[in-house]
Amino acid sequence: MIEVERLTKRYGPATVVEDVSFVCRPGTVTGFLGPNGAGKSTTMRMLCGLTPATSGTATVLGVPFTSLPNPGRHVGVLLDASAQHAGRTGRETLALTARILGVPAARADEMLDTVGLAGKAAGRRVGDYSLGMRQRLGIAQALIGDPSVLVLDEPANGLDPEGIYWMRTLLRDFADRGGAVLLSSHLLHEVEAVADTLVVIAGGRVVASGTKSKLLAPSGRTFVRALDPAALYSALVGAGLPVVRREPPADGGGEAFVVEAQGEAVGRAAAASGVVLLELRQASGGGLEELFLTLTGRQTGPATTPSVPQEALR
């Protein structure tokens, strides 16, 4: 369980995170989204005790991260895969982590196999790893203590499509076994595929939060296509029904429209003008990408403030 309540971070006059609150429950993946400079990384650093909060609280399993005994046994963290020691091999990196956390040494090889770095890759120096390999190693480090909570910042960076699918499956399995996952990523389609709940942040503030099904529920819009698109458009405008989007022609049909109205109103407008309809249905939602752009497209964070430390701008 992760609980963040009214978390705020200021650097002098610049506020980079303001009054942020959300909960990440066991058995769920929470997608933590926002544009560059929105305050995601700063929030995650405060959660993990790496950046002191100006005000508010952030707890993991009911206590601040820094109060957890041997925190790596409870919380797996990946904030920056490039921070690993370049001179150590993958196996040495995990063996050292296992020793620090007090888990069996065999756990290192087990995790290397889990993340696809067993064999020759385990003996290579981290400095020779690709970004995707470093991400896999970082995930192995996060998992080696058998935690019940994962905090991951952009873990899919550098992964190929197969690797992204692997990571999605791994996170889903972790949550389905009762774990709690806080996942920050710019890969919106992947977040949409794996997340149960969403928290969207822009300009340092939460602009939307809730279950994925609730936030991405179809709106009261209607998709309509007619034999005569021009006549349909005139009928819609004449009835005062706002056309919010045009859709390109489909096989066997002309241009279609998405209308901000219920299907009955659209059907009646078409019937009144004698327009023959080929398709009339509830418009599907635009998905997470449309929600994200709608909520953050015109928002700007404090990332341009020169006095703000670089870690706060991610």
- The pLDDT tens digits of the residues spanning 188-244 come to 888 888 999 999 999 999 988 999 888 877 667 888 999 899 999 999 999 999 998
pLDDT at 188: 87
Q: Is the predicted pLDDT of residue 303 greater than 50, yes or no?
A: no
pLDDT at 158: 87
Q: Is the predicted pLDDT of residue 67 greater than 70, yes or no?
A: yes
| 285 SS3 class | coil
Query: How many other β-carbons are positioned within 10 Å of the β-carbon of residue 281?
Result: 10
* Residue, of 29 and 190, whose pLDDT is higher: 29
**Distance (Å, rounded) from C-alpha 67 to C-alpha 80?**
22
Question: Which of 185, 184, 176, 190 lies closest to 26, judged by CA?
Answer: 176
Q: Is the predicted pLDDT of residue 245 greater than 90, yes or no?
A: no
If you classify domain 2-74+147-216+290-313 with CATH, what class do you get?
Answer: alpha beta
HSE of 113, CA atoms in CB hemisphere, 13 A = 5
**Distance (Å, rounded) from C-alpha 182 to C-alpha 191?**
11
pLDDT at 247: 77
Span 52-75, average pLDDT: 95
**Distance (Å, rounded) from C-alpha 74 to C-alpha 77?**
10
* Residue, of 87 and 301, whose pLDDT is higher: 87
Q: Is the predicted pLDDT of residue 283 greater than 90, yes or no?
A: no
Please tell me the pTM assigned to this model.
0.76
pLDDT at 313: 42
Percent of the chain's residues with pLDDT above 90: 68
**Distance (Å, rounded) from C-alpha 13 to C-alpha 16?**
10
Cα angle for residues 254, 270, 216 (degrees, 5° grid) = 70
Beta strands of 53-169 (E only): which ranges?
55-60, 75-78, 149-153
Looking at the structure, give the CATH architecture of the domain made up of residues 222-284.
Answer: 2-Layer Sandwich (3.30)
Q: Is the predicted pLDDT of residue 301 greater than 80, yes or no?
A: no
Return the exposure string of 45-56: e unless at least 16 CB atoms fall within 10 Å of the residue's CB, then b.
Answer: bbbbbebebeeb
Please spell the DSSP secondary structure of 243-271, one letter per residue: EEEEE---TT---EEEESS-HHHHHHHHH
Domain ranges of the chain: 2-74+147-216+290-313, 222-284
Q: Is the predicted pLDDT of residue 309 greater than 70, yes or no?
A: no
Among positive and negative, which fits the CA dihedral 259, 262, 267, 272? negative
Question: Which of 140, 166, 170 lies closest to 76, judged by CA?
Answer: 140
